[in-house]
A and B are shown apart, each in its own frame.
Chain A
């Protein structure tokens, strides 16, 4: 039982940055997910907690105890490696017994070892593989053995490096559901690393988003989903990716795609007429609005209608350029404003639209995200309504645009 604290942890590999000035506080018993694309420093973060990398700076504390100079085998943490790291010359049951036989995780008699291994392997559905060698297992089975080697022992913290990444989609969904129900998992502080936003949102008590070794945002799954701190976080979560459109403030509205999209300026946001910004709309937030006039003689150029000021819905009209069936839903690429701009939307109706059809979309204004203006490909901070001003200053366009081209090499 112990919380994990990282304070200003910095580690680089030669000129390659691992993590930079990373500070996190993981509560006792919390299931904490670290999300980020490859190379974001997720694994380095775990290895820093485990004591497997020497830090260039910063501290790690587990259970309130500073881990400076504490060897990995004294830290009482268990880790599942992305590469499984199963001992190839040992059978599954020998692999699982390894942490129980070291003498540093408690002492267990032969029968206690067997009981523990049996319990874990039954839970993970690998109890029929005990006498196999790792090379005789599928990747999914290997991954479960690696997970089993973590769960079989008591630990202050579990460190899980993409433990579901190599499972096939079906098994992954099943394991995701099971994982949180595992008794030990729910009571032990867990740091869980993944690049899969669905896993992060589904499993995490809290989620930290990393980018190029830096912490971008940390919060509950609702927080990072509803209130992404910048366009990077917004893009990292959700499939299909969030639509980002450049916009200009005009008459209390953010006007994008040559007038095809008009979004009311969020109340309290410090945006004046003529200011430039970006609007972000998640494809799954867009709903198809039925309308006879659309199906009939639809206007050639999409035109946005800002109606229902009460419901504050943003309406967009356009024409389907591309309809791609993805299982039950159809992903639509909708041309706006003469085809120079487009939106991705998801059509889950019984009779999905076809390419060339005119379409009318709606999204609640509250679900539209507004970000600072930036160059194409650049990630920019979210424009926040003037929420409780913590430091007395009105919240506004947080800092300036952040560049993605920040080259440290």
Chain B
């Protein structure tokens, strides 16, 4: 009661508030430091790669090494083809997840039945089962039916990662959509399918963008599945990056850092392209009707 009214945005200058801000600052530096370290490391020469000095003569050599045949010789993995493989398999997995997941999410959001929550939970549980738990049987199956080290096999396994995400995110979007809109379309003379395509689908576009991006990132960062289920030809970017850490030979930390930074570019570019939809997606449903 004693404290004066504060305007929105106005700060109270107390030791506690200053302390909290300091703590936040420390936390901020702490969490961003690895990223900074990665950038610096990627600019160092091989001789300096283990030094902890921040003063060095920066070079872009690492990037050109990773992208050239030299890198392929060091790791016996072609980085560029791994990049292509990642783009194709992750894009494929997201596409499959959207084609199947959007109707599934719509059904889950609209049709409540006994056990529908249990079903949704089961779908989510695919996400929190450790990948290592299923990798051995998957490896055996993949070998037997010839999916090992194929793009199709990669799409198939990454789709396990992305599908639950897509369904869960989009279900809440469909639930937020007023049912009246589709009912109005039904009474306008449209079938349920046309009402879905005409009314519901355009309105959840931001949700689709958000879910697709998130799913793509999860698939992109997936490591265990591609590591075990691919060989030399269809390895993904995560596998290729890790090859620079050795695996029998020498560990090239500076090259690893450069490769990791290149590997982080596609999701970043994707995120920037669909940013427009993302912001709308996050504010969707904040305003009634």
Interface residues, chain A, CB within 8 Å of chain B? 47, 50, 52, 71-73, 75, 77-79, 81, 83-89, 98-99, 102-105, 149, 153
Contacts and interface: CB of A to CB of B under 8 A. Distances in A.
Contact of A88 (B191, B194, B203): B203
Interface residues of B, number: 18
B180 interface: yes
Given A87-B199, A89-B202, A81 B189 contact: no
A387 to B, nearest CB: 42
B5 interface: no
A105 B190 CA distance: 10
Contacts of A47: 183
B198 to A, nearest CB: 8
A102 B188 contact: yes
A372 B134 CA distance: 73
Nearest to B194: A102
Contacts of A50: 183, 187
Contacts of B199: 87
6 contacts: A50-B183, A73-B186, A73-B190, A81-B180, A85-B178, A102-B190
Interface string B220-232: 0000000000000
Identify which of A78, A98, A102 gathers the most chain B CB atoms within 10 Å of its CB: A102
Interface of B is mostly: helix
Nearest to B180: A85
B187 A78 contact: yes
Contacts of A77: 187
B59 interface: no
A158 to B, nearest CB: 11
A99 B189 contact: yes
A103 B189 CA distance: 7
B180 A149 contact: no
A257 B189 CA distance: 59
Interface of B: 178, 180-181, 183-191, 194, 198-199, 202-203, 289
A50 B180 CA distance: 12
B203 A89 contact: yes
B174 to A, nearest CB: 15
B203 A104 contact: no
B181 A87 contact: yes
A83 B178 contact: yes
Contacts of A84: 289
Given A83-B178, A87-B181, A98 B188 contact: yes
Nearest to B178: A83
Nearest to B187: A79
B181 A85 contact: yes
B4 to A, nearest CB: 39
A190 B64 CA distance: 75
A87 B191 CA distance: 16
Contact of A72 (B187, B198, B203, B289): B187
Contact of B289 (A83, A99, A105, A153): A83
B186 A72 contact: yes
Contact of B189 (A52, A73, A87, A88): A73
Contacts of B186: 52, 71-73
Contacts of A149: 184, 188
A79 B191 contact: no
A73 B187 contact: yes
Given A79-B183, A89-B202, A104-B189, 12 more contacts: A73-B186, A73-B189, A83-B289, A85-B180, A85-B184, A86-B184, A88-B181, A89-B203, A98-B185, A99-B189, A102-B194, A149-B184
